[in-house]
Amino acid sequence: MAVISGPSVSLEQTGATAASRSAWAVSWPLLLGLAVFAFLNNPSGLPILGDPDTHWHITVGNWVLAHGTVPTVDSYSFTFPGQPWIAKEWLSQGLLALAFNIGGWGGVSALGAAAIGFTFALLLRLLMRDLRPLPTLLFTASAIIMTAPHFLARPHVLAFPLVLLWVAGLVRAVEERRAPDWWLLAVMVLWANMHGGFTLGLMLAGALALDALVGARDAAERRTLFIAWAKFGVAALIAACVTPYGPESILVTSRIFSLGDSLGMIAEWRAPDFQKQPLQELVLLVALYLALSRGLKLPLIRLLIVLGLVHLFLRYARNAELLAMLAPLVLAPLLARQFLRIAVEAQPTGRFSALARPAGAATLAICLGLAGLYAGGLIGLGRIAPPTANTPVAAVAFARDAGLKGRVFNHYGYGGYLISAGIPTFIDGRGELFGGDFIKRYVQAVSLRDEEPFDALLDRWGIEWTLLSRDQPANRLLARLPGWRQAYSDDAAVIFVRDK
């Protein structure tokens, strides 16, 4: 028998949330959110500050704050100066810049950790509308494991809560056989200005609209739902265009995927490597075992959505968070109907289940205050900083002291720091600007696999010095090339200079 979408039991529907609650009560979402925040916001700055692109995001954010507008052309590279380029994530970049200006790298770490902690607290709360605490905690723990490699101070983590609110709102509308709430349009406006992933949100709205139509009880209800969802879909598309760039932000997504094979040359766009992330593979295998052994049945559209999320993850490792956080939201109401043992209780009993209810106001205020004091203490110490492995601080300081001028051929991962240092880059993390052919030629060049000799490329671009990581093959060739000499070396970076 086919499983169709329909209303499921939730805390809101049973009235459990309206029950009397002590102002000092604690809850699972609050405890989890605080634990994640405290773990991530640590003196090492890792893993939050482990991505070099954070530097250029902050630089662009400061440009936006200083000019009161958004950039429309590239001004950070010497390879594509003046070419059209938009800061599609300008709002997140502005928030990162504000955090940096207020608290330095400690402020950036605190912002990223707070966003991630709130995200998983919210995920837990949303899942508890349908499922009991234990399965929701297991789902959320699995999501943390899957998403952990992407706990970075970048725009996507600031947009995580918006992603959850959007998808949860759409699923709830399908379950209750109605159109989505109109307040979700405000979520879409924010999402469209914070991260380019909002285009997936629009696609999911279309898929869940189709799910609602397929699950309609009769032709009259199907007609009503079609009109309601169509109105919402048009409004959502308009909301997605409420950015400084209008519909241009939507088109950027197509330009990114038009990079083709070059995407695989960028670490975050590669397929997942389960040898390096064995826990991700374990989570997938356990989920597959439970689905097959317990006889989980999904309606066609929900099944296609889950398969689509799996495909996105297996194709690009950076999509792990989409599968880990969105699949449980899509499945939770169906699981509650098919497996009553894990469905939410109308009257939660016992201390463990009671923690599913919202925390008391006093407890929430005290916990937020303690979190603020903790973050402020770390900021005050001033020891939090990005790792030197992708931040060539000493190498760039040497270049300045030595008076190195002219164009630099830089390591891809150093582009973000060079932008923050005001040094025009050969290449950096803005893949949609450089294009697939340029990225591919760059990777082949530093690996000495390009048809054009490496020294000819340096001459063609008028390169005066290079800043590459120690392990790149191009360094070995530069050491033998006449007219070039090694000027600097440390554990991470090497600088070669053209002889005058």
CA angle, corner 319, sides to 315 and 321, nearest 5?
145
pLDDT band at 12 (very low <50, low <70, confident <90, very high): very low
Give the residue, 141 or 19, on which the prediction is more confident.
Answer: 141
List pLDDT tens digits, range 401-456. Answer: 999 999 999 999 999 999 999 999 999 999 999 999 999 999 999 999 999 999 99
81: confidence class by pLDDT, cuts 50, 70, 90: very high
Looking at residue 20, what is its pLDDT? 59
- Asked whether the beta carbons of 168 and 146 are under 8 A apart, the reply is no
* CA 120 to the chain's CA centroid: 13
Residue pLDDT, tens place only, 169-225: 999 999 999 999 999 999 999 999 999 999 999 999 999 999 999 999 999 999 999
Contact 245/210 with Cβ under 8 angstroms?
Answer: no
**What is the per-residue pLDDT for 268?**
81
Confidence of residue 62 (pLDDT cuts 50, 70, 90): very high
pLDDT, residue 435, reads 92
Task: Specify whether the CB–CB gap between 185 and 202 falls below 8 A.
Answer: no
Cis peptide before 348 (omega within 30 of 0): no
pLDDT score, position 260: 78
Please state the pTM of the whole predicted model.
0.93
Specify the pLDDT at position 346. Answer: 58
CA distances from 309 to 34, 45, 341 (A): 28, 30, 27
**Residue 348 pLDDT:** 60
| Model confidence pLDDT, tens digit, residues 114-152 | 999 999 999 999 999 999 999 999 999 999 999 999 999
Q: How confident is the model at residue 267, as a pLDDT?
A: 79
Q: What pLDDT is attached to residue 41?
A: 97
Q: Which one has a higher pLDDT value, 354 or 327?
A: 327
Confidence of residue 100 (pLDDT cuts 50, 70, 90): very high
pLDDT band at 154 (very low <50, low <70, confident <90, very high): very high
Contact yes or no for 39/404 (Cβ under 8 A): no
With a cut of 90, say whether residue 155 has pLDDT above it. yes
Contact status, residue 52 vs residue 389, Cβ threshold 8 Å: no
Half-sphere exposure of 177 (CA within 13 A, CB side): 15
Q: What are phi and psi of 485, to 5 degrees?
A: -140, 150
Over the stretch 229-262, which tens digit does the pLDDT of each residue have? 999 999 999 999 999 999 999 988 888 877 877 7
Neighbours of 258 (CB within 10 A): 12
Question: What's residue 3's pLDDT?
Answer: 41
Reported as a single tens digit per residue, the pLDDT across 38-52 is 999 999 999 999 999
Please report the pLDDT score of residue 123 as a whole number.
98
Those residues whose C-beta lies under 8 Å from the C-beta of residue 295, and which sit 6 or more positions away, are none
Those residues with Cβ within 8 angstroms of residue 332's Cβ, 6 or more apart along the chain or in another chain: 126, 127, 129, 130, 131, 139, 171
Residues 360-403: tens digit of each pLDDT? 999 999 999 999 999 999 999 988 999 887 799 999 999 999 99
Would you say residue 339 has pLDDT above 90? yes
Residue 11: per-residue pLDDT: 40
Tell me the C-alpha distance between 417 and 422, whole Å. Answer: 9
Q: What is the pLDDT of the chain when averaged over all its residues?
A: 92
Q: What pLDDT was estimated at residue 347?
A: 58
